[in-house]
Chains A and B, each alone.
Chain A
Amino acid sequence: QNTLNVCFSVGYSAVALNHVIDFKEKKQEIIKPVSPSELFPSLPIVQGTTKRIKVLTRLTLVVSDPSHCNLLRSTSANIRLYDIIAVFPKTEKLFHIACTTLDVDLVCINVTEKLPFYFRRPPVNMAIDRGIYFELLYTPAIKDSTMRRYTISNAISLMQICKGKNIVISSAAERPLELRGPYDVANLGLLFGLSESEAKAAVSTNCRATMLHGETRKTACGVVYTVKKPRKVEEEETTVPACKKAKTQA
């Protein structure tokens, strides 16, 4: 709770509380997220505006086996209670599956150890088209110097493939002193090789896009759109009236 108070004082406008599920241990059940209203009876106001700070809940799945992904497709009610869903792939196949077919908002990139696989361009481009963002953590870089090197090297190799698009930088802070302000984090993006505008977007616009992606994932089930058929004009005969066709796509 202290950590959240520090967040608000430093100048963030939305915070997500993370819950990590690791599938290597047995008997993992997804529990209901702690509702933010239990922690704070009234949320403080963002610095400089009149809106209140949003506190969201987020779930991270550490997957090392394709069978773990079945949980995402199951209709367990508890998954739907989380606002943002992130997946942490451990192998190259899972990274490919996560980028192309899984229904998640974020793909976490490991920063604490050397990546066992190299990024390839096709799955990364597909993820960018689908609106999935890649997440980098910066708190390990504060704790340990070896992890600093891994963070920066993994981030640089990611930048080379994705050219700085769709990146979100977040902290995995457990204590209030491990948190850094938003402009400090944007500066870290410059270290990773992003340009200035991309670095600021990694903290602001991309995060907001992730939140909206999570909302649409929770609510949208199908899309209905109408297409106007082009009018055929024939010189001799009367014109055929244009007809509108309704198309439903599940």
Chain B
Amino acid sequence: RAELPPAEFERRVLRSAARHHYLRVRLELADGGARPNAAQFKQLVVSALRELHGEVGAALPVDVLTYEEKTLSAILRVISSGLVKLWSALTLLGFYQNRRCAFRVLQTSPFLLALSGNSRELVL
């Protein structure tokens, strides 16, 4: 048997390959009252950043890619270095127009395609 040449492979580790991180979030409000539309939602996110991280945080480039008013869920895109700031700002947000609210982050991933499937909703 002829010996095959030893397999050569090269290992490349990409620590911060993706430039953006995507978050699927849902806003939970106490019942009743008006629901925010897309512009108000974006303003809520920016004000949460401003409350926690100040003007520098509010200047973080955040985009709302989709927003559904019925379920109050959205997909946000943020630059990878700002993920911790955005996520912590959303977690610590307590009030929207003097009503209690909570942000639930359902999924987060550096790839948008990964947000389409949710392994937690699988019925075993």
Contact = CB atoms under 8 A, between A and B. Distances in A.
Interface of A: 10-11, 47-48, 138, 141-143, 145, 148, 175, 177-181, 183-185, 187-188, 190-191
A187 B120 contact: no
Contacts, number: 47
B45 interface: no
Given A142-B93, A187-B88, A188-B91, A47 B120 contact: yes
Interface stretch (B35-43, B74-82, B100-108): B100-108
Contacts of A148: 52, 92
Contact of A180 (B30, B91, B108): B91
Given A148-B52, A190-B84, A141 B92 contact: yes
Tell me whether chain B's interface is mostly helix, strand or loop, or mixed: mixed
Nearest to B86: A187
Given A11-B120, A48-B120, A177-B30, A188 B92 contact: yes
B85 to A, nearest CB: 9
A188 B88 contact: yes
B102 A180 contact: yes
B120 A179 contact: no
B29 to A, nearest CB: 8
Contacts of B94: 142-143, 178
Nearest to A190: B84
A184 B52 contact: no
